[in-house]
Structure 1
Amino acid sequence: MDIIQQIFWLLILPIPVACIAWTVTHEEVFREPREYCVGQSKKGRTILRRKFFYLFTCEYCFSHYVTLGVILLTGFQLLLPDWRGYIIGGFATVWMANVYMSLFAFIRQDIKKEKTEIALMEKKVEEITENPTSKS
């Protein structure tokens, strides 16, 4: 595979990695299992148990395991056509997936901020319309 194809794959493969890692570690659909994992990661009897369950609460940590699965499914290698290419491709995929997740988190934070500002403005307008004689 030439370098252009490798770069293309490096930009595309992290998208499902980021999607899966973010969904498992942040979204409501996995809230109950995540809460269980958070509890076990804090109160587990052994360090091995605590670390195992922590992996399901941290998007960065979890993205390594999702990447491993994606690399096994696709055989993606970066720069070198042997086992070293798998390692380089794996870590590069993790890095790109985390860049994507950071961008997604930033966008979500900005959207949440805008929604909050809009709600405050609507409340202010509502207060003014209900009581037009008061000064704000």
Structure 2
Amino acid sequence: MLQQLFELFILALPIACIAWTVTHEEVFREPREFCVKNAKQGRTILYRKFFYLFTCEYCFSHYVTLAVVVVTDFHLLFDDWRGYLIAGFSLVWIANIYMSLFAYIRQDIKKEKTEITLLEKKSEVLSETTDKKS
């Protein structure tokens, strides 16, 4: 049981990484913009929902999790289909906790960078006005 919990927290890391990268990072910006456009302007609901999956980290994490469960044969508590079902939803939940923490940390870092930039600009303005007075 302890081994399964360890595997749960480890397997959730690549799931979170893949889901976040595809749905947020610059490297996938163009395909994501294409998906956003099709998710909003598609003719059928099925078409729109298909493309929406690539824009939402929560939604996309389900599909990444499905692939991880299939590839790793990971299951929790039970050795039959119930173990795969429990493993799938558990992995999604842990992966989304990881992504939420990552988003929070990135937001805090961005806030600090913005504050530093503002302080640097204030410092430049003060030094320019001091130099003009001298």
Same fold? TM cut 0.5: yes
Rounded Cα–Cα distance in structure 2 between residues aligned with 1:78 and 1:90:
9
2:91 maps to a residue whose letter is: T
The alpha-carbon deviation at position 32 of structure 1 amounts to 0.3
Of the three residues 82, 96, 113, the one matched with 2:80 is: 82
The alpha-carbon deviation at position 54 of structure 1 amounts to 0.1
Residue pairs, 1:1-136, within 5 angstroms: 3-132=1-130
2:65 maps to a residue whose letter is: T
Q: Which structure's residues are more often helix, by fraction?
A: 2
The alpha-carbon deviation at position 133 of structure 1 amounts to 7.7
| Percent of residue pairs bearing the same amino acid type | 70
Rounded Cα–Cα distance in structure 1 between residues aligned with 2:69 and 2:97:
18
Q: Single out whichever of 111-120 and 73-82 deviates more from structure 2.
A: 73-82
Rounded Cα–Cα distance in structure 2 between residues aligned with 1:82 and 1:24:
31
Rounded Cα–Cα distance in structure 2 between residues aligned with 1:119 and 1:61:
35
Give the aligned length.
132
Q: Deviations over 1:69-125 (max 9, x none)?
A: 000010100111111000000000000000000000000000000000000000000
Rounded Cα–Cα distance in structure 2 between residues aligned with 1:116 and 1:75:
45
What secondary structure is seen at the aligned counterpart in 2 of 1:8?
A: helix
Q: Which runs of 5+ in 1 are unaligned?
A: none
Q: CA RMSD in A?
A: 1.1
